[in-house]
Amino acid sequence: MGYIKVNNEKVTKEVASELMDICPFNAFEYTDAYLSINASCRVCKLCVKKGPKGVCEFIDDSRPKIDKTIYRGIAVYIEQRNNKAHEVGFELLGKAQEISKKTNEPVYAIVIAKDASKIVEQCLSYGVDEVFVFQDDAYEDFNVETYTNAVEHFYKKYQNNVILMGSTPQGRSFAPRIAARLRTGLTADCTMLDITEEGDLLQIRPAFGGNIMAKINTPNNRPQLATIRYKMFNKPNKVVPFGKVTYEETGNLSKESTIKMIEKIEKPKVNDISEAEVIIAVGRAFKKQKDLELIEPLRQKLNAQIACTRPLVENGWFDNRLQIGLSGRTVKPKLLINLGISGSVHFIEGMKESELIISVNQDPNTKLFDVSHYSIIGDIYEVIPKLNDLLKEIGVV
């Protein structure tokens, strides 16, 4: 962008006063015979053009433009644990393929694992052009230091355009490390991706508490690096594999690490609402915790998982892993029933891709109805028993 430099050896009281009159932003300050520019400066350059010659100077410090033709390929990091891929990687392959049709470049998968064979097969079946594999006993468990070495090696060798990763706990620690190592930017927690007219990756994510959708791009740096939430995109259709597999030489990559695995403790398994096919989501319309018993027959009949809005986590009724939304989980079930939920942007961002959405609310103008396939206007305390009766009538026991 550049900035204005003041050559103070040419400044007198009169010169300072003249420049202060010229500047429409009151950006000049003259104290102790020294003229400085404050943060109000918009670099309009009026002082350079209209001020006394040689006093103000425009310094162009913008970085030279990169040659974008060098960079090719949209790479997706396929996260794994115990040699089993996290589904978010495959969802990102779907989005990468969509983008690659616009930019006309290949889609790559990066797999770092002790045994990558099964994941490689899966990637190929999803139509990846090339899978790059870093396979080594040292990669049995995720280690942000050694895994970063592998991605750095990949990027330096193949100079690809984009790297996409899941916004999982692993991705959230891994991506910033890669960004720092490759000296590029990172847009974390994107909910949408697109391409700008110039062919750059448009990384879209909620900002300012979800009140605006920020559109971020990286026009003068490569790779373009983004993490994306689970359940935002669809996995690609399976195809007859045609892609290539390249096993990278890992012997020369440093496996040194300051992190030592002492013990692995498996977390108790909880039903993850992100994986649920049927969800009943409850909101602040429930007056007492005991009233939640009302939904139990419905839950059993539909074999549904219960989820909730944030206020119900805040008041201690639910574990935060059951919260849908921007600061909770993203869900995409086959059926989502919302009971007494207003539909704040924070909630909607976490559920709007669900296949069938039915919402019950007594307020006909509730925002949640805008994204619902079926809207029931009524009091939940009356509608829930009726839904139970209806399911009995149509034979759902």
Ligand X SMILES: Cc1cc2nc3c(=O)[nH]c(=O)nc-3n(C[C@H](O)[C@H](O)[C@H](O)COP(=O)(O)OP(=O)(O)OC[C@H]3O[C@@H](n4cnc5c(N)ncnc54)[C@H](O)[C@@H]3O)c2cc1C
Mark residues 252-291: x for contact with ligand X by CB under 6 A, - for none. -------------------------------xxx------
Which residue is nearest to ligand X, using beta carbons?
325
325 is in an annotated binding site: yes
Among positions 328, 357, 387, 388, the unique one binding ligand X when judged by CB under 6 A: 328
Q: Compute the distance between CA of residue 90 and CA of residue 76 in angstroms, rounded to an integer.
A: 9
Among positions 160, 366, 372, 375, the unique one binding ligand X when judged by CB under 6 A: 366
- For ligand X, which stretch binds (CB under 6 A), given 57-65, 131-139, 159-167, 325-333? 325-333
Least distance to ligand X, CB of residue 310, Å: 3
Strand pairing category for 186-190 and 162-166:
unpaired
Does 19 help bind ligand X (rule: CB under 6 A)?
A: no
Least distance to ligand X, CB of residue 389, Å: 17
Q: Compute the distance between CA of residue 95 and CA of residue 231 in angstroms, rounded to an integer.
A: 12
- Footprint of ligand X on 182-241 (CB under 6 A): 209-210
Least distance to ligand X, CB of residue 327, Å: 4
Does 169 help bind ligand X (rule: CB under 6 A)?
A: no
- State which residue, 124 or 376, has the beta carbon closest to ligand X: 376
Least distance to ligand X, CB of residue 210, Å: 6
Among positions 30, 72, 327, 391, the unique one binding ligand X when judged by CB under 6 A: 327
Does 347 help bind ligand X (rule: CB under 6 A)?
A: yes
Among positions 176, 255, 342, 358, the unique one binding ligand X when judged by CB under 6 A: 342
Does 370 help bind ligand X (rule: CB under 6 A)?
A: no
Q: Is the peptide bond before 297 cis (omega within 30 degrees of 0)?
A: no
- Footprint of ligand X on 284-323 (CB under 6 A): 284-285, 309-311, 323
378 is in an annotated binding site: no
Does 325 help bind ligand X (rule: CB under 6 A)?
A: yes
Interface residues with ligand X (CB under 6 A) are: 209-210, 283-285, 309-311, 323-328, 340-342, 344, 346-347, 350, 360-363, 366, 379-381
Q: Which residues line the annotated binding site? A: 284, 309-310, 323-327, 361, 379-380
Binding residues for FAD, by number, are 284, 309-310, 323-327, 361, 379-380
